Amino acid sequence: MWLLNSSVGKKVIMSVSGVGLVLFLLFHMCMNLVALFSADAYNAICGFLGANWYALVATVGLAAMVVVHIVYAFILTIQNKRARGGQSYAYSVRPKSVEWASQNMLVLGIIVALGLLLHLCNFWANMQLVEILHKLNIHVDAEVVKNATNGVNYMVETFGNYIYSACYIVWLAALWFHLTHGFWSAMQSLGVNNQVWFNRWRVIGNAIVTIIVLGFMAVVVVYAICPCVGGHC
Protein backbone atom coordinates (compact mmCIF):
# COMPACT_ATOMS: atom_id res chain seq x y z
CA MET A 1 0.00 0.00 0.00
CA TRP A 2 1.35 3.42 -1.02
CA LEU A 3 0.76 5.12 2.33
CA LEU A 4 2.58 2.39 4.24
CA ASN A 5 5.36 1.43 1.85
CA SER A 6 6.56 4.66 0.28
CA SER A 7 8.61 7.35 2.01
CA VAL A 8 6.16 10.03 0.89
CA GLY A 9 3.25 8.00 2.24
CA LYS A 10 4.93 7.65 5.63
CA LYS A 11 5.48 11.41 5.74
CA VAL A 12 1.81 12.02 4.93
CA ILE A 13 0.72 9.67 7.74
CA MET A 14 3.04 11.40 10.18
CA SER A 15 1.87 14.83 9.06
CA VAL A 16 -1.84 13.95 9.33
CA SER A 17 -1.37 12.36 12.76
CA GLY A 18 0.56 15.45 13.86
CA VAL A 19 -2.23 17.77 12.70
CA GLY A 20 -4.75 15.63 14.57
CA LEU A 21 -2.72 15.91 17.77
CA VAL A 22 -2.41 19.69 17.36
CA LEU A 23 -6.20 19.95 17.04
CA PHE A 24 -6.57 17.92 20.23
CA LEU A 25 -4.10 20.19 22.02
CA LEU A 26 -6.13 23.21 20.89
CA PHE A 27 -9.30 21.66 22.32
CA HIS A 28 -7.51 20.63 25.53
CA MET A 29 -6.08 24.14 25.96
CA CYS A 30 -9.51 25.76 25.52
CA MET A 31 -10.95 23.29 28.04
CA ASN A 32 -8.21 24.11 30.56
CA LEU A 33 -8.79 27.85 30.21
CA VAL A 34 -12.33 27.30 31.50
CA ALA A 35 -10.77 26.45 34.88
CA LEU A 36 -9.48 30.03 35.15
CA PHE A 37 -13.03 31.38 35.10
CA SER A 38 -15.10 28.65 36.77
CA ALA A 39 -13.85 25.64 38.70
CA ASP A 40 -17.36 24.17 38.69
CA ALA A 41 -17.68 24.49 34.92
CA TYR A 42 -14.30 22.83 34.38
CA ASN A 43 -15.18 19.95 36.72
CA ALA A 44 -18.50 19.57 34.90
CA ILE A 45 -16.59 19.15 31.63
CA CYS A 46 -14.36 16.55 33.31
CA GLY A 47 -17.47 14.71 34.47
CA PHE A 48 -19.01 14.89 31.01
CA LEU A 49 -15.91 13.33 29.48
CA GLY A 50 -14.66 10.96 32.17
CA ALA A 51 -14.96 7.27 31.28
CA ASN A 52 -17.95 7.63 28.95
CA TRP A 53 -17.84 5.64 25.72
CA TYR A 54 -17.20 8.65 23.50
CA ALA A 55 -14.34 9.84 25.69
CA LEU A 56 -12.85 6.34 25.73
CA VAL A 57 -13.06 6.09 21.94
CA ALA A 58 -11.35 9.48 21.66
CA THR A 59 -8.67 8.40 24.16
CA VAL A 60 -7.93 5.23 22.18
CA GLY A 61 -7.79 7.27 18.98
CA LEU A 62 -5.39 9.78 20.54
CA ALA A 63 -3.18 7.02 21.89
CA ALA A 64 -3.09 5.44 18.43
CA MET A 65 -2.12 8.77 16.83
CA VAL A 66 0.66 9.27 19.38
CA VAL A 67 2.04 5.78 18.76
CA VAL A 68 1.81 6.17 14.98
CA HIS A 69 3.45 9.59 15.14
CA ILE A 70 6.35 8.36 17.27
CA VAL A 71 6.91 5.16 15.28
CA TYR A 72 6.86 6.92 11.92
CA ALA A 73 9.06 9.72 13.24
CA PHE A 74 11.61 7.10 14.27
CA ILE A 75 11.40 5.28 10.91
CA LEU A 76 11.65 8.46 8.85
CA THR A 77 14.54 9.81 10.91
CA ILE A 78 16.54 6.67 10.19
CA GLN A 79 15.59 6.73 6.49
CA ASN A 80 16.45 10.42 6.11
CA LYS A 81 19.83 10.02 7.77
CA ARG A 82 20.67 7.09 5.52
CA ALA A 83 19.46 8.85 2.38
CA ARG A 84 21.00 12.23 3.18
CA GLY A 85 24.14 11.09 4.95
CA GLY A 86 22.95 12.44 8.28
CA GLN A 87 21.80 15.77 6.81
CA SER A 88 18.32 17.09 7.55
CA TYR A 89 16.06 18.87 5.07
CA ALA A 90 17.65 21.69 3.13
CA TYR A 91 15.39 24.68 2.62
CA SER A 92 16.51 28.19 1.78
CA VAL A 93 13.98 30.02 3.98
CA ARG A 94 14.02 27.75 6.99
CA PRO A 95 13.45 29.93 10.10
CA LYS A 96 16.08 29.94 12.84
CA SER A 97 13.73 28.43 15.45
CA VAL A 98 13.03 25.50 13.14
CA GLU A 99 16.73 25.05 12.37
CA TRP A 100 17.57 24.91 16.10
CA ALA A 101 14.71 22.49 16.74
CA SER A 102 15.79 20.30 13.84
CA GLN A 103 19.29 20.02 15.29
CA ASN A 104 18.00 19.19 18.77
CA MET A 105 15.02 16.96 18.04
CA LEU A 106 16.38 14.08 20.15
CA VAL A 107 16.57 16.20 23.29
CA LEU A 108 13.23 17.86 22.52
CA GLY A 109 11.64 14.48 21.88
CA ILE A 110 12.87 13.13 25.22
CA ILE A 111 11.54 16.18 27.07
CA VAL A 112 8.16 15.97 25.31
CA ALA A 113 7.87 12.23 26.04
CA LEU A 114 8.83 12.66 29.71
CA GLY A 115 6.41 15.58 30.03
CA LEU A 116 3.62 13.47 28.57
CA LEU A 117 4.33 10.68 31.06
CA LEU A 118 4.33 13.21 33.93
CA HIS A 119 1.02 14.64 32.73
CA LEU A 120 -0.55 11.19 32.47
CA CYS A 121 0.59 10.35 36.01
CA ASN A 122 -0.63 13.63 37.50
CA PHE A 123 -4.00 13.82 35.77
CA TRP A 124 -5.13 10.93 33.58
CA ALA A 125 -4.14 8.25 36.11
CA ASN A 126 -6.07 10.05 38.85
CA MET A 127 -9.11 10.81 36.73
CA GLN A 128 -10.19 8.78 33.70
CA LEU A 129 -8.14 5.71 34.66
CA VAL A 130 -9.73 5.68 38.10
CA GLU A 131 -13.19 5.81 36.56
CA ILE A 132 -12.31 3.00 34.15
CA LEU A 133 -11.07 0.79 37.00
CA HIS A 134 -14.18 1.57 39.02
CA LYS A 135 -16.48 0.65 36.14
CA LEU A 136 -14.58 -2.61 35.73
CA ASN A 137 -15.31 -3.34 39.40
CA ILE A 138 -11.63 -3.19 40.26
CA HIS A 139 -11.21 -1.98 43.83
CA VAL A 140 -10.32 1.69 44.09
CA ASP A 141 -10.50 3.77 47.26
CA ALA A 142 -13.91 5.45 47.51
CA GLU A 143 -12.39 8.89 48.13
CA VAL A 144 -10.21 8.56 45.03
CA VAL A 145 -13.26 7.65 42.94
CA LYS A 146 -15.17 10.61 44.36
CA ASN A 147 -12.38 13.02 43.34
CA ALA A 148 -11.91 11.51 39.87
CA THR A 149 -13.84 14.33 38.18
CA ASN A 150 -12.37 17.11 40.35
CA GLY A 151 -9.85 18.26 37.80
CA VAL A 152 -9.31 21.64 39.44
CA ASN A 153 -8.25 19.94 42.65
CA TYR A 154 -5.49 18.11 40.77
CA MET A 155 -4.45 21.38 39.10
CA VAL A 156 -4.08 22.99 42.52
CA GLU A 157 -2.10 20.04 43.90
CA THR A 158 0.15 19.72 40.85
CA PHE A 159 0.86 23.33 39.97
CA GLY A 160 1.05 24.34 43.63
CA ASN A 161 4.26 22.32 43.65
CA TYR A 162 6.79 24.68 42.08
CA ILE A 163 8.99 21.81 40.93
CA TYR A 164 6.08 20.39 38.94
CA SER A 165 5.23 23.84 37.62
CA ALA A 166 8.80 24.36 36.43
CA CYS A 167 8.79 20.92 34.78
CA TYR A 168 5.55 21.74 32.96
CA ILE A 169 6.91 25.07 31.71
CA VAL A 170 10.07 23.39 30.39
CA TRP A 171 7.89 20.72 28.78
CA LEU A 172 5.67 23.31 27.11
CA ALA A 173 8.68 25.25 25.84
CA ALA A 174 10.07 22.06 24.30
CA LEU A 175 6.64 21.32 22.87
CA TRP A 176 6.59 24.75 21.19
CA PHE A 177 9.88 24.06 19.40
CA HIS A 178 8.73 20.55 18.49
CA LEU A 179 5.41 21.71 17.04
CA THR A 180 6.84 24.63 15.09
CA HIS A 181 9.46 22.33 13.57
CA GLY A 182 6.81 19.69 12.95
CA PHE A 183 4.55 22.16 11.20
CA TRP A 184 7.38 23.26 8.91
CA SER A 185 8.17 19.62 8.07
CA ALA A 186 4.49 18.79 7.53
CA MET A 187 4.11 21.59 5.01
CA GLN A 188 6.94 20.13 2.97
CA SER A 189 5.55 16.59 3.29
CA LEU A 190 2.10 17.72 2.14
CA GLY A 191 3.56 19.43 -0.91
CA VAL A 192 3.44 23.11 0.05
CA ASN A 193 6.51 24.20 -1.91
CA ASN A 194 5.35 27.61 -3.11
CA GLN A 195 7.32 30.10 -1.04
CA VAL A 196 4.43 32.55 -0.65
CA TRP A 197 1.95 29.98 0.62
CA PHE A 198 4.62 28.19 2.63
CA ASN A 199 5.38 31.40 4.51
CA ARG A 200 1.68 32.12 5.04
CA TRP A 201 0.98 28.66 6.47
CA ARG A 202 4.12 28.87 8.58
CA VAL A 203 2.90 32.12 10.16
CA ILE A 204 -0.56 30.63 10.75
CA GLY A 205 0.92 27.45 12.19
CA ASN A 206 3.33 29.30 14.48
CA ALA A 207 0.48 31.53 15.70
CA ILE A 208 -1.73 28.54 16.54
CA VAL A 209 1.11 26.70 18.29
CA THR A 210 2.06 29.82 20.27
CA ILE A 211 -1.54 30.36 21.38
CA ILE A 212 -1.79 26.71 22.48
CA VAL A 213 1.43 26.80 24.48
CA LEU A 214 0.70 30.18 26.08
CA GLY A 215 -2.79 28.97 27.02
CA PHE A 216 -1.40 25.94 28.81
CA MET A 217 1.32 28.03 30.47
CA ALA A 218 -1.26 30.53 31.70
CA VAL A 219 -3.10 27.78 33.58
CA VAL A 220 0.14 26.51 35.13
CA VAL A 221 1.31 29.96 36.24
CA VAL A 222 -2.07 31.19 37.50
CA TYR A 223 -2.75 28.09 39.58
CA ALA A 224 0.81 28.16 40.93
CA ILE A 225 0.31 31.74 42.11
CA CYS A 226 -3.40 31.80 42.95
CA PRO A 227 -4.97 28.38 43.70
CA CYS A 228 -8.32 30.04 44.50
CA VAL A 229 -8.86 31.24 40.93
CA GLY A 230 -12.17 30.31 39.35
CA GLY A 231 -13.93 30.09 42.69
CA HIS A 232 -12.11 26.92 43.77
CA CYS A 233 -11.67 28.00 47.40
pLDDT at res. 85: 58
CA 213 from centre of chain: 9
Pick the closest to residue 202 from 187, 189, 190 (CA basis): 187
Q: What is the pLDDT of residues 181-221, one digit of tens each?
A: 877 777 776 666 677 777 788 888 889 999 999 999 999 99
Q: Are 217 and 24 in contact (CB under 8 A)?
A: no
pLDDT at res. 232: 72
pLDDT at res. 160: 94
Ordered by start, the domain boundaries in the chain are 2-231
Question: Rounded CA gap, 152 and 161, in Å?
Answer: 14
pTM of the model: 0.85
Pick the closest to residue 182 from 42, 72, 44, 53 (CA basis): 72
Question: Rounded CA gap, 130 and 42, in Å?
Answer: 18
* Per-residue tens of pLDDT for the chain, all 233 residues: 555 667 777 778 888 888 899 999 999 999 999 999 999 999 999 999 998 999 999 999 999 999 988 888 788 778 777 766 545 444 444 555 556 766 777 788 789 989 999 999 999 999 999 999 999 999 889 999 999 999 999 999 999 999 999 999 999 999 999 888 877 777 776 666 677 777 788 888 889 999 999 999 999 999 999 888 877 77
Pick the closest to residue 25 from 76, 75, 65 (CA basis): 65
pLDDT at res. 2: 52
3-state SS of 22-53? HHHHHHHHHHHHHCCCCHHHHHHHHHHHCCCH
Long-range contacts (CB closer than 8 Å, 24 or more residues apart) made by 77-84: 77/105, 79/7, 79/10
Element holding 174 (H helix, E strand): helix 162-189
